[in-house]
Amino acid sequence: MKPQIIGISGSPIKNSNTDRLIRSVLESSNLSSEFVKLSKINVRPCIACLGCKKDNICKVKDDFPELAEKVRHAGAVVVGGYSPYGAVDGFTKAFLERLFSLRHQNGLNKGKLAVVVTTGIGRGAPGLEEASNQIAHALNLEGMNVLGQLKVTGNPECMVCGFGQTCPMSALPWIFGDDTEVTPEKFSNVEDQTEIWEKAKVLGQEIARKLGDQMRM
């Protein structure tokens, strides 16, 4: 049985804030679901070969065609990424590019429900809004109905690399000022961002309700 809702995470961090918020949407829907971590599979960027032009099936021999079949039959997707260098990450971008194989001519994703999850270091840093809008724009081009964009304050790599307090390129002074000591209370957890966490649950329930309505029509 193919999942009714699929969660796709571009975050390479194990059990990241992005992962946990995506899973929250899935679990709140109470639908059959699957969570996919793009860093654990092989999905390359689109190579514009147009091998999909006749049948909407990507011919690149990696893990995307199998994932595309699940997306094609799902009623909803939750796509999560993060925002390095002020734009959406490479894993998520590659996945979004490959959706072209389902889009052209037949618009096979048209009408699907979608939720966007994006994590950035926040605290005034650029990129979070931009990355969220990039994901939403791609899903809109697919003809999906984006129900919400969840934006999460995450943590820079500088907090865990071991050199964040002394590195001249560190983001810690920018975020925390003179107090650059890495302490537990400075880490951001999505569960503590109550408004976003609750909104994720509401969106999961909304997906279930809308898909139920579609089945009864």
pLDDT in tens, 18-63: 999 999 999 999 999 999 999 999 999 999 999 999 999 999 999 9
Residue-number span of the structural domain to which 56 is assigned: 5-154+189-216
pTM of the predicted protein model: 0.94
Whether residue 63 is found in the same domain as residue 162: no
Q: Is residue 86 within 8 Å of residue 93, measured between CB atoms?
A: no
Helices 128-141 & 90-98, crossing angle to 10 degrees? 10
212 residue type, one letter:
G
Whether residue 195 is found in the same domain as residue 174: no
Write the CATH number for 43: 3.40.50.360
The Cα 175–Cα 86 span in angstroms is 16
The Cα 29–Cα 15 span in angstroms is 20
Whether residue 124 is found in the same domain as residue 44: yes
Question: What's the number of domains the chain is made of?
Answer: 2
Whether residue 148 is found in the same domain as residue 111: yes
Whether residue 45 is found in the same domain as residue 17: yes
Each residue's pLDDT expressed in tens, for the chain with a length of 217 residues: 689 999 999 999 999 999 999 999 999 999 999 999 999 999 999 999 999 999 999 999 999 999 999 999 999 999 999 999 889 999 999 999 999 999 988 999 999 999 999 999 866 667 899 999 999 999 999 999 999 999 999 998 898 999 988 899 998 888 888 888 999 999 999 999 999 999 999 999 999 999 987 766 6
Whether residue 117 is found in the same domain as residue 161: no
Whether residue 146 is found in the same domain as residue 172: no
